[in-house]
Chain A
């Protein structure tokens, strides 16, 4: 059965190779952690429903991208049709943090005339002993670009739900206030089917994948 949702948001997940993009998404959509994850070649897709307020469900269409730099020629085609993005770096890999700036520039130059609401994610926060990027400097960088910052761990299921839900809420507010408008030919935000009768929440979870985190 087609589940009922208010809006569909298309999100893109970007960041260097091996920062854990696919693992974070799998934890969020499937509630499990894979020790070994194949490198993403091109783009991959995931989907999950989130309830941001009682009765208000948003369908997230999540596009996972290859981290290798040369794939940007392929993945940049997906920026334009995304309303939001998670920009990941690995807190144990300083270089992935230094590349955040490049990822943002790349995204901004290919998203015109739209803009993407980004969330900066410091991933693998369970590996505190190997940390190479402090929370303060990451927060500072995020602030400079007007992003929120959150630290997550797919392994220990820390803040995974929060990262996606916070971003979804922010976008929802922008849609509600009219700062982000639904447009024909743009896939970033789509209006869903809203029935007259309110369905029970049981029914809603039936179709989508359940999350256990």
Chain B
């Protein structure tokens, strides 16, 4: 773990300039938390370890006046301190660079809007990747608020021992800030059978004492989940705002997967902020028109010859009426008007359109409509009957009208 754009000298000077001695109100909490933090480890439980722990945590608190110490920050500090035990300044610098990327504004005094949005996006990710599990957990009221706060607030450092954290973080650091969602889903999937077989009480007990997680498998499965997740599906309006040039803390050449969705230039085809209550009302994530164009490989120049490897397979499902569809639609999309496949009680009815849907199982299904409400409802119905990888097009078909990408079938001669 390195902080690439900072010079070693700068780090030392900056760290030394921070007042780590004057008492602050947070001292008491730090004092009681340190002796309870990863104390099975020899370094972190040593008297010297406690002194260093205290200094690094205090330096972070003092140098981030807009943020505050939340219990759990001690756990988050542990891997940085352990890896840079003889270089406190570097431990501090790494932690200071890590937090804005993965935990932007999580440590605000009032962080509820940030956490609530994060957990809602996580719920949508569960529904996207594992509808059956999502349906069950929602049915028994086992929501992420009950178990996932320590996971994300500490980036899993409160739930795993150090050696597992290092393994997990090695991969986490290569991905973007939405990678933790995939880790969360991968953990749930490892406990899937037990979760599915049990009710609320058994599930909460399972998580109060998290069973052994195979971390190698967790990493492998997180990567797979990540590759199947369209970038914009995890958009959060409270994520770190786009970085300005020269302010790039993790100064690396961005690749499709390592760059953050919110770092890409924003256009009319990007995702738009959504009020929390609206976000919560939707089971499936929205994806941007940009993502749809990219994943469907639509462009005015016609389909590109070279398909990019590793891209998820996708099917665009247009649920508008046949009449609207014939006036212009996305090339390659299939028309399945809302009423044709679902009975009033949400069951899939037998018809040719259902066949198309069934054959699309496993692909990313993008539901397109002109009204977001209908798209969200259609997606929710699909999730209910265990269709995975369902998402909806943010802004609907109207978003694409200005792009010139809609095709109109040539009139029959």
Contact = CB atoms under 8 A, between A and B. Distances in A.
The answer to whether A and B belong to the same complex is yes
A39 interface: yes
Given A17-B29, A36-B36, A73-B110, A42 B150 contact: yes
Interface in A34-91: 36-47, 59, 61, 64, 66-68, 70-71, 73-74, 77
Contact of B201 (A17, A61, A68): A61
A38 B112 contact: no
Interface stretch (B173-181, B188-196, B202-210, B405-413): B202-210
B33 interface: yes
A39 B71 contact: yes
B32 A41 contact: no
Contacts of B3: none
Q: Indicate the member of B32, B112, B154 with the most A CB atoms within 10 Å.
A: B32
Contacts of B145: 74, 77
Nearest to B199: A2
A71 B73 CA distance: 13
A54 B29 CA distance: 45
A93 to B, nearest CB: 10
Given A38-B37, A42-B153, 9 more contacts: A17-B29, A38-B158, A40-B71, A41-B71, A41-B75, A41-B154, A45-B146, A74-B145, A77-B145
B314 to A, nearest CB: 36
Contacts of A68: 29, 70-71
Given A39-B36, A68-B29, A45 B149 contact: no
Contacts of A66: 71
Contacts of A61: 201, 204
Interface in A1-55: 8, 17-18, 36-47
Contacts of B32: 17-18, 39
B115 interface: yes
Contacts of A40: 71
Nearest to B70: A70
A47 B153 contact: no
Contact of A39 (B33, B110, B115, B201): B33
Nearest to B38: A38
A182 B240 CA distance: 45
A39 B33 CA distance: 7
Contacts of A77: 145
Nearest to A18: B32
A36 B71 CA distance: 16
Interface of B: 29, 32-33, 35-37, 39, 68, 70-72, 74-75, 109-112, 115, 145-146, 149-150, 153-154, 158, 201, 204-205, 207-208
5 contacts: A36-B36, A39-B71, A46-B205, A61-B204, A64-B208
Contacts of A37: 36
Nearest to B141: A187
Contacts of B205: 45-47
Contacts of A44: 208
B158 A41 contact: yes
Q: Which 8 A-B pairs have the closest CB atoms?
A: A42-B149, A41-B150, A45-B204, A41-B72, A45-B208, A68-B71, A18-B32, A39-B71
A41 B149 contact: yes
Contacts of A45: 146, 204-205, 207-208
Contacts of A59: 201
Given A39-B71, A42-B153, A70 B109 contact: yes
Nearest to A77: B145
A95 to B, nearest CB: 9
Nearest to A69: B29
Given A17-B71, A36-B39, A71-B71, A41 B29 contact: no
A74 B149 contact: yes
Nearest to B32: A18
B298 to A, nearest CB: 43
Contacts of A18: 32
Contacts of A39: 32-33, 36-37, 71-72, 74
A175 to B, nearest CB: 19
Given A36-B39, A41-B71, A68-B70, A46 B29 contact: no
A201 to B, nearest CB: 20
Q: Indicate the member of B109, B111, B149 with the most A CB atoms within 10 Å.
A: B149
A8 B111 CA distance: 32
B206 to A, nearest CB: 9
Contacts of B33: 17, 39
Nearest to B111: A73
A35 to B, nearest CB: 10
A41 B68 contact: no
B36 A70 contact: no
Contacts of A67: 71
